[in-house]
């Protein structure tokens, strides 16, 4: 039986933001292995997030971010269930980080359904033409195009993008972690990104 020290609990708390008792339980479950305990807490958080997915989100905040030099600006609407959560530091920090992420990565939409059909069709045409050009047989062109389209969505949909502050996880993972931490459903509803000289 591994002894779980207060220092180990503190270390796990600092890394995950989870409660003391949750950290203690995770460390006990994972025999004191901090990286396994982080995974354990994240899985637990995902289960909590899934349970909350159907709940209404009528509160939230609109967050702005202007990049140094004033050439890029973002407005993002993030929704949650209660006004109480919308006013917490965790929620505000999250919205600010998401706005900065959008400024840095310039996604085309929150999820794949948000990307206009004409852009998706144009990309698909380009991928088909590239595959044909490289001598691939006609019958597999659509399959190749679909595969490249998946990559396109990963790069251009906010939820699928690697998070700029930790590229090992996606923005969707960050949202699920915040849901687990604050105990309420959260969603990024919409955003607009301005850049000088772009239309």
Q: Give the separation between CA 83 and CA 173, rounded to whole angstroms.
A: 23
What does the pLDDT look like over 138-194, one tens digit per residue?
888 888 888 888 899 999 999 999 999 999 999 999 998 888 888 888 999 999 999
Helix, strand, coil distribution of the chain in percent, nearest 5: 60, 20, 25
Which of 43-47, 118-122, 137-141, 168-172 is least confident?
43-47
User: Rounded distance, CA 141 to CA 186, Å?
Assistant: 39
Q: What is the pLDDT of residue 22?
A: 79
The domains found in the chain, sorted by start residue, are: 6-52 (1.10.8.10), 59-110+157-195 (3.30.479.20), 116-155 (1.10.286.20)
- From the list 163, 150, 160, 147, the residue with the least C-alpha distance to 110 is 160
Classify the C-alpha dihedral 166-95-79-16 as positive or negative: positive
Task: Give the contacts of 145 (CB within 8 A, at least 6 positions apart).
Answer: 124, 127, 128, 131
Q: Is the pTM of this model over 0.75?
A: no
> Are the beta carbons of 24 and 8 closer than 8 angstroms?
no
Rg (CA), the chain: 20
Query: 163-168 contacts: CB < 8 A, separation 24 or more?
Result: 163/101, 164/100, 164/101, 164/104, 164/105, 165/97, 165/101
**In the predicted structure, residue 70 carries a pLDDT above the cut 60:** yes
Q: Could you tell me which residues are beta bridge partners of residue 80?
A: 59, 186
């Amino acid at each position: 039986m591994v002894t779980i020290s207060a220092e180990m609990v503190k270390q796990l708390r600092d890394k995950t933001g989870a409660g003391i008792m949750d950290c203690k339980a995770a460390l006990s479950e994972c025999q004191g292995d901090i990286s396994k305990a982080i995974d354990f807490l994240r899985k637990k958080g995902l289960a909590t997030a899934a349970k909350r997915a159907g709940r209404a989100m009528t509160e939230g905040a609109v967050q702005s971010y202007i990049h140094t030099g004033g050439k890029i600006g973002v407005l993002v609407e993030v929704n949650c269930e209660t006004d109480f959560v919308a006013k917490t530091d965790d929620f505000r920090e999250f919205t600010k980080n998401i706005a900065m992420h959008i400024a840095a990565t310039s996604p085309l939409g929150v999820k794949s359904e948000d990307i206009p059909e004409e852009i998706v069709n144009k990309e698909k045409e380009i991928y088909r033409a590239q595959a044909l050009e490289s001598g691939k047989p006609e019958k597999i062109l659509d399959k190749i195009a679909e595969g490249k389209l998946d990559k396109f969505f990963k790069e251009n949909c906010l939820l699928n993008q690697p998070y700029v502050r930790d590229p090992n996880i996606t923005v969707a993972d960050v949202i699920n972690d915040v849901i687990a931490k604050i105990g309420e459903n959260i969603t990024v509803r919409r955003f607009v990104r301005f850049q000088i000289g772009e239309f």
